[in-house]
């Protein structure tokens, strides 16, 4: 029988580890995706995700249901991401723009998408990840929350504790930067109807002439 997050939280607070594990199964992908897109590296995302769930588990007693469990979990994960980014910066580790090193699998519709579309989408995804890494952290966070997690402007404002107008400004500025960069690289088009990134042509043509 399906249980809501709140029901599972109540059970987990009473010592039911299985209930908490159901919450982990339910939310590990979004939390991991959030951390991955904000931090840009798989191993960092994994560490932050695990830490987020660990903190949630330890803090269950303090969670009084004042917010949705998912919002609470997102806030924990996002705060960890920001701490991580700050530490990384303070430690003098400058992440190169191309720091998104993971070979992500860009699969939107695993059943219907052809391999050719998949390849095009994957290459485009890599290009997007590199461009996203060049954005200021706060712009990237807002874009990630809005674009990939579908949060409302109000939810984002609450989550990152800033005015609604700031959220919209960051989103607009970030999208504008991406638009300019995508335009310069000739990548700006949606898929798969208009694939814009083609595979490099064979380097030799003259031999066939």
Q: How far does Cα 189 stand from its chain's mean position?
A: 21
How big is the site for other proteins, counted in residues (CB under 8 A)? 74
140 contact partners, CB below 8 Å, separation of at least 6: 37, 38, 132, 133, 174
Tell which one of 5, 11, 13, 21 touches other proteins (CB under 8 A).
21
Q: Which of 5, 104, 137, 138 binds other proteins (CB under 8 A)?
A: 104
Quick check: 152 binds other proteins (CB under 8 A)? Answer: yes
Radius of gyration of the chain (CA): 20
Token pair belonging to 115: 């391999």
| Binding track, positions 67-96, relative to other proteins; x by CB under 8 A | ------------------------------
Q: Among 154, 126, 129, which residue's Cα sits nearest to residue 144?
A: 129
Distance CA 115, CA 103 (A): 16
Q: Which DSSP category does 208 fall into?
A: G
Please give the residues from 177 up to 196 whose contact with other proteins meets the rule CB under 8 A: 178-179, 182, 187-191
Tell me if 51 sits within 8 A of 80, measured CB to CB. Answer: yes
Q: Does 112 bind other proteins (CB under 8 A)?
A: no
- Residue 20 within binding range of other proteins, rule CB under 8 A: yes
| Binding to other proteins, residues 116-145 (CB under 8 A) | 116, 118-119, 121-122, 124-125, 128-129, 132, 143
Distance between CA atoms of 145 and 60, rounded to whole angstroms?
24
**Residue 6 in the binding site for other proteins (CB under 8 A):** no
Q: Which residues within the stretch 43-62 sit at the binding site for other proteins (CB under 8 A)?
A: 45-46, 49-50, 53-54, 57-58
- The answer to whether 106 contacts other proteins (rule: CB under 8 A) is yes
Measured from the CB of residue 92, what is the shortest distance to other proteins in angstroms? 27
Is residue 163 within 8 Å of 100, Cβ to Cβ? no
């Amino acid at each position: 029988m399906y249980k809501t997050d709140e029901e599972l939280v109540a059970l987990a607070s009473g010592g039911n580890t299985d209930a908490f594990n159901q919450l982990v199964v339910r939310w590990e992908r979004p939390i991991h995706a959030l951390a991955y897109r904000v931090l840009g590296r798989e191993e960092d995302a994994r560490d932050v995700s695990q830490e987020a769930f660990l903190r949630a588990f330890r803090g269950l007693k303090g969670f009084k249901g004042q917010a949705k469990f998912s919002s609470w979990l997102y806030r924990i994960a996002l705060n960890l991401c920001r701490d991580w980014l700050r530490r990384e910066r303070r430690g003098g580790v400058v992440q190169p723009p191309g720091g998104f090193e993971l070979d992500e699998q860009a699969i939107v519709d695993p059943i219907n998408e052809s391999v050719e579309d998949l390849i095009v989408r994957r290459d485009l995804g890599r290009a997007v990840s590199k461009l996203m890494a060049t954005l200021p952290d706060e712009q990237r966070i807002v874009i990630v929350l809005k674009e990939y997690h579908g949060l409302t402007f109000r939810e984002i404002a609450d989550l990152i504790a800033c005015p609604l107008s700031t959220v919209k400004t960051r989103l607009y500025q970030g999208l504008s930067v991406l638009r300019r960069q995508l335009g310069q690289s000739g990548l700006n088009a949606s898929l798969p109807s208009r694939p814009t990134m083609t595979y490099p042509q064979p380097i030799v043509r003259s031999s066939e002439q």
